[in-house]
Amino acid sequence: MKIFNGKKFAEKILLDLKKRIRREKIKPKLAVILVGDNKASKLYIKLKKRAAGRIGINLALYKFGQKAKEKDIVRKIKDLNKDKSINGIIVQLPLPKKFNQNRIVGMIDLSKDVDGFLKKSGSSPVLPSAIYLVLKSASKFFKGKKILALTNSDIFGFTLKDFLVKKGIKMKYLLRTSSGVKSNLKSADVIISVCGVPGLITGEVIKKGVILIDAGFPADADRESVEQKASFLTPNPGGVGPLTVALLLKNVYLAAKKYGKYS
């Protein structure tokens, strides 16, 4: 079984970015908005800040408490949209339930949406891009293969499907709460899981030789049992995660080049 080394893959991207930023003498800047006290979100931001600092990208963090008002968060985004020194803006997800996630994220200027979350964004969507790179690492041939993605939302499922289809890879997605999930998993040649539900995928529900891409946080796959059957596996942590950080920072760099005052 092949284990995907996300850290090694991401490091190549980061080192290339570092060279470009130094050579071109630009100063990309990313604004990150954190709302609430989610431990996983804090960890993600810590990893992003560490990677950004290593390659010459400045990361500015704007914190809002659990009791913050939505209008104040929106106002901050509008201010950042106008700030010419800011090349990218992300809202760290998930947001506390009382906030309208789509409205808040939707306020980000398309040229600064470096997560690629919005329709007609100026950047490629980060997680779908990472998944595509992992797929290319796993195999060069997907024609006739059944590729199945498990997601928590139709929004992400459609975004991923649309992105991969444009790359020439056909797939279908199912919400993890849909009926028939187990039977679909059992017949899939490639499984992409982005749910964050521990133990969602075990060796019992996959077939021998499956390519398994676990992009959930926490991990969806029970590694001990799936290792006995999978031919390719992304470890979690250490698989898709580092790659998404590297691709996010690449989008910040590209936004600085294309839209920023340094272009």
Residue 41, domain member (yes or no): yes
pLDDT at 263: 44
Same domain, 131 and 237: yes
Same domain, 53 and 92: yes
Question: For the domain that residue 33 is a member of, what is the CATH number?
Answer: 3.40.50.10860
- Please write the tens of the pLDDT for every residue from 76-113: 999 999 999 999 999 998 899 899 999 999 999 999 99
Residue 58, domain member (yes or no): yes
- Please write the tens of the pLDDT for every residue from 230-251: 999 999 989 999 999 999 999 9
Both tokens of 64, joined, read 């809002």
Same domain, 182 and 226: yes
Same domain, 49 and 80: yes
Give dist(CA 172, CA 28) in Å, integer: 37
Number of domains in the chain: 2
- Of 168, 170, 209, 211, the residue nearest 193 (C-alpha): 211
pLDDT at 89: 98
Residue 259, domain member (yes or no): no
Q: Which residues have a Cβ under 8 Å from the Cβ of 146 and sit 6 or more positions away?
A: 187, 188, 189, 190
pLDDT at 10: 97
Residue 195, domain member (yes or no): yes
pLDDT at 218: 87
Both tokens of 24, joined, read 């071109």
pLDDT at 151: 95
Same domain, 138 and 92: no
Same domain, 102 and 149: no
Record the pTM.
0.94
The whole domain housing 203 covers 126-241
Residues of the chain with pLDDT under 50: 263
pLDDT at 33: 98
Both tokens of 61, joined, read 């963090």
Cα→Cα distances 210→123, 185, 207, Å: 31, 10, 6
Residue 247, domain member (yes or no): no
Question: For the domain that residue 180 is a member of, what is the CATH number?
Answer: 3.40.50.720
